[in-house]
Amino acid sequence: MTTTRFAPSPTGYIHVGNLRTALMNYLIARKAGGTFILRIDDTDPERSKEEYVDAIKQDMEWLGLHWDRIERQSERLDRYADAADKLREMGRFYEAFETPTELDLKRKKQLNMGKPPVYDRAALNLSDAEKEKLRAERGNGVWRFKLDHERIDWTDGILGDISIDAASVSDPVLIRGDGQVLYTIASVVDDTEMGVTDVVRGSDHVTNTATQIQIIEALGGQCPRFAHHSLLTGPQGEALSKRLGTLALRDLREQGVQPMALLSLMARLGSSDPVELRSDIAELIEGFDVNRFGAAPTKFDVQDLFPLTAKHLQSLPLADVADAVADAGVPAELAESFWEMARENITTLGDLKGWWELCRDGAEPLIADEDREFIEEAIALLPEGPFDGETWGTWTKAVKEATGRKGKGLFMPLRKALTGMERGPEMATLLPLLQVIRARG
């Protein structure tokens, strides 16, 4: 059965880049009728925060990306210790004692000599007595996985055929000197034990994948299918990594971005399929295929989310936005007609308030000198209430007859006088909502 997972580290809020990973894994699982796991990668006790775990869950729920299972790596440490023991028994795990400064020096030397900066495995030659001495002086060493120096090949769902020479990669550290288990092994143990069949993640993980394939094989696990999506860049192709902090999902939510706008964009951006607004997640699942994504960096422009948000909102019935309409201050009896008027004139729900204020308080009238008399005459001709969708037509007809004005010369001064703006909602739908006018009618 298809099983995927989204595995964020709770060291910050999730952003658009994470969302891409989450969504691809989610859609693969749902399309196959499989299982989607939310895995919290919290083996780093210093950097992992409970508040971020809660925030990740809230953000996923806001998007409607529901998980079937939640797992936490901090609750599975004994499994990782077992796997480490196994690797030790197999002779694939060794303790190394170099300090970061020493490693840095080695790397610099290698680079100077034109060699790739790969760990030289000096620790493999240490005798037991030497290790004992180093341990006494420096504390416990780190544990490195001994890669088999052969080529590591896989067919990547996005990148195609990949072949990496293991000799060009340093033996990865899987356990730190203080005993902290690192992601590289924890993830392998989880993916294997949880029966993960498909792993989609960012292309910054390609080298990890190479080493993880060897660890999975050493532990006798089944390798999942891997796909590495490209990283996002800004609209001009500039690196986005530093700005991702400002593209947290909760900030976008604050700015009024709608989940379906975000999901519609991220489920297709960087693929050969066009970005189109979808009305629900089921529609996104239908057309989704991870193999249709390209390897080139994907340009992301936060501004693209707003027209999609506007379009999505336009399609909604009042029932879906009733809370936001009420929060804007609109009385329940006007909610339906207010929404009819406002839906085509907002970008986000945050714009509702402004339209309601216009209805409730009126606007500073915009009246040119030459229109002053005309406006007075027109106001005097306002029909009796109650106002409805016909009122504007009846009224302007009467004004036309009395003043001889027509077309733009008739409508524009009225619009500007009533709304203070040259453009805006249909006057026929707006007029019955203008409370000041109602009071006069």
Q: State the residues that interact with ligand GLU by CB under 6 A.
A: 7-9, 41, 183, 187, 201, 205
Q: Enumerate residues 6+ apart whose C-beta is below 8 A from 69.
A: 35, 36, 37, 38
Q: Which residues contact 368 (CB under 8 A, 6 or more apart)?
A: 413, 416
Q: At what angle do helices 318-327 and 352-361 cross, to 10 degrees?
A: 60
Instruction: Compute the least distance from the CB of residue 6 to ligand GLU, in Å.
Output: 7
Q: Smallest gap, in angstroms, from Cβ of residue 165 to ligand GLU?
A: 22
Alpha helices in 171-256 (DSSP H): 183-193, 206-218, 249-254
Q: Smallest gap, in angstroms, from Cβ of residue 27 to ligand GLU?
A: 15
Closer to ligand GLU at the Cβ: 47 or 115?
Answer: 47
Beta bridge partners of 40: 72
The residues that bridge with 271 in the sheet, in sequence order, are 293
Closest to ligand GLU by CB, 9 or 309: 9
Q: Which of 137, 152, 273, 162 is closest to 213 using CA atoms?
A: 152
Contacts of 247 by beta carbon, 8 Å cutoff, 6+ apart: 15, 16, 17, 240, 302
Residue position matching structure tokens 């003043």 = 403
DSSP letter, residue 151: E
Residue (209 or 391) nearer to ligand GLU, CB: 209
Tokens of 238: 């500039």
Nearer to ligand GLU, 37 or 437 (CB): 37
Contact in structure between 418 and 392 (CB atoms under 8 Å): no
Q: Quote the least distance from Cβ 124 to ligand GLU, whole Å.
A: 28
CB of 243 to ligand GLU, least distance (A): 18
Q: Which residue is nearest to ligand GLU (CB)?
A: 41
CA 385/CA 390 separation, integer angstroms: 11
- Cβ 215 to ligand GLU shortest distance, Å: 12
Cβ atoms of 46 and 147 closer than 8 Å: no
3-state secondary structure of 195: coil
Distance, CA of 50 to CA of 345 (rounded, Å): 40
Q: How far is the CB of 41 from ligand GLU (least distance, A)?
A: 4
Q: How many helices (H) and strands (E) does the chain have?
A: 19, 12
Cβ of residue 184: shortest distance to ligand GLU, in angstroms? 9
Closer by beta carbon to ligand GLU, 183 or else 392:
183
Helix (H) or strand (E) holding 236, with range, is none
Beta carbon nearer to ligand GLU, 83 or 134: 83
Q: Are strands 232-233 and 298-299 parallel, antiparallel or unpaired?
A: parallel
Name the residue nearer to ligand GLU (CB basis): 241 or 314: 241
Query: Could you give the angle at the alpha carbon of 36 between the alpha carbons of 33 and 37, nearest 5°?
Result: 155
For ligand GLU, the closer CB: 9 or 214? 9
At 296, phi and psi to the nearest 5? -70, 150
Tokens of 239: 């690196």
Task: Name the residue nearer to ligand GLU (CB basis): 45 or 407.
Answer: 45
Nearer to ligand GLU by C-beta: 41 or 98? Answer: 41
- Output DSSP code: residue 368: -
Between 4 and 345, whose beta carbon lies closer to ligand GLU? 4
Max CA pair span of the chain: 109
Q: CB of residue 7 vs ligand GLU: minimum separation in angstroms? A: 4
* Shortest Å distance, C-beta 420 to ligand GLU: 50
Least distance to ligand GLU, CB of residue 202, Å: 7
From CA 386, how far away is CA 382, in angstroms rounded?
A: 11
